[in-house]
Amino acid sequence: MKKFVLPMVLFICAIATSQKEKNGTIYIKHPTIDMTNEMLAAYVAGDAYKVATFLADDFKAYNGNSTNKDNTGRTKEEYLEGIKWWRENIAYFSMKPSGGAYPDALEYKDGTFWVQTWNDLSGVHNETGVRLDMPVQYSVQFNKDNKIKTLITYNNNNVFQEIRRSYGDRKNGVLYDHHDNINKVRRMMSAFENKDLDLAYSYFAPDCRFTGLEVPDGESMDLEQVKERNNKIWEAFDISSIDVVGYPDYLEYDLGDSKAVQSWWKFRMTRKSDGKKIVMPALYIHDFNDEGQIIRSNAYMSTKILDAK
């Protein structure tokens, strides 16, 4: 066994050693990092003239997300023209290093030099109001004259697709003022008003999730938790009526194939401890599944009003 184990250990060590080979040096401080930062700052400022001073004559810019095998990149002139678009179309344009990130300068053994940066880009498209708030990564190659030869940008292109889509009007479904799902919400609210709880809760799917203004972001409650919360309210208050305000809307969306009823209400309540009468406004958004059950309930109200003196 020892004769077998020793050669194996030596073999593994040899593999581990052979897998390591330096291919250059990484710098945390280097003039090319400074030049990259200055060029990007000029880009954000819309100063095409200054940006041009950093670029080689044969400069090419590439979209790192492109899957086009025939992509030849943008020329220096085309890239500089793009600065005009940002200056004229994006308000509040800014760029800062991503949290915890810093640029690296990489000097390879073959003499090529790259700078990599990680930034957060933000701004607002003037015409459509679409917000840009995304990470962006730049890979910047320098030539022997310390001019930028290649710039590769990696970012989320979805926001630019949204800008293009926002130029035209587009329908996103159908809006109803009368629908069976509206009827279900009205019957449910009437059941709550009359403390017919079995009927009221029957409109919810067993796995329905509940959220709202007073539920921490990213969290939700299940049906049993909501029942417990509601019981505490009914122990302290009498509900004289739950009155609809205006009329509910039922929306069938094309995007996501979702279905929702929006409704506005006033809870007219009396506090049992002192007879204080309270009116609590509320907005509900109830999402329905294809079987006509409520699968999500979003409540926009403030129960702070229940503590009114």
Ordered alpha helix ranges (H), the chain: 2-18, 31-45, 48-52, 76-89, 158-165, 180-193, 197-201, 223-236
Does residue 43 lie in a domain region? Answer: yes
Of the candidates 130, 165, 200, which is a domain's last residue?
A: 165
Does residue 14 lie in a domain region? Answer: no
How does strand 55-63 pair with strand 148-155?
A: parallel
DSSP designation for 216: P
Q: How many independent structural domains does the chain possess?
A: 2
Residues 6+ apart with CB under 8 A from 235: 272
Q: Answer yes or no: do 121 and 226 share one domain.
A: no
Of the candidates 115, 138, 165, which is a domain's last residue?
A: 165
Integer CA distances (angstroms), 164 to 44, 129, 159, in order: 21, 12, 9
Q: How confident is the model at residue 20 (pLDDT cuts 50, 70, 90)?
A: confident
Does residue 4 lie in a domain region? Answer: no
pLDDT tens profile 31-46? 999 999 999 999 999 9
CA distance 243 to 186: 10
Residues 6+ apart with CB under 8 A from 20: none
Does residue 214 lie in a domain region? Answer: yes
Does residue 200 lie in a domain region? Answer: yes
How does strand 55-63 pair with strand 237-253?
A: unpaired
Cβ-contact 122, 132 below 8 angstroms: yes
Q: Answer yes or no: do 113 and 51 share one domain.
A: yes
Q: Is the pLDDT of residue 14 over 80?
A: no
Instruction: Give the domain CATH number at 66.
Output: 3.10.450.50
Q: Answer yes or no: do 43 and 120 share one domain.
A: yes
Q: How confident is the model at residue 140 (pLDDT cuts 50, 70, 90)?
A: very high
Ordered alpha helix ranges (H), 46-179: 48-52, 76-89, 158-165
CA 16 to chain centre: 42
Mean pLDDT of the chain: 92
pLDDT tens profile 220-260? 999 999 999 999 999 999 999 999 999 999 999 998 899 99
Q: Answer yes or no: do 27 and 161 share one domain.
A: yes
Does residue 160 lie in a domain region? Answer: yes
Q: Answer yes or no: do 117 and 210 share one domain.
A: no
Does residue 152 lie in a domain region? Answer: yes
Integer CA distances (angstroms), 104 to 22, 37, 46, 243, in order: 16, 11, 25, 63
CA distance 125 to 222: 39
pLDDT tens profile 172-196? 999 999 999 999 999 999 999 999 9
Q: Answer yes or no: do 260 and 187 share one domain.
A: yes
Backbone angles phi, psi at 208, to 5 degrees: -60, 140
- DSSP codes joined into one string, 74-93: EEHHHHHHHHHHHHHHEEEE
Q: Answer yes or no: do 140 and 214 share one domain.
A: no
Q: How confident is the model at residue 6 (pLDDT cuts 50, 70, 90)?
A: low
pLDDT tens profile 201-224? 999 999 999 999 999 999 999 999
Question: Model pTM?
Answer: 0.70
CA distance 67 to 79: 19
Q: Answer yes or no: do 150 and 183 share one domain.
A: no
Q: Answer yes or no: do 93 and 198 share one domain.
A: no
Q: Answer yes or no: do 193 and 104 share one domain.
A: no
Q: Answer yes or no: do 147 and 102 share one domain.
A: yes
pLDDT, residue 202, reads 97
Residue ranges making up the domain that contains 270: 173-307
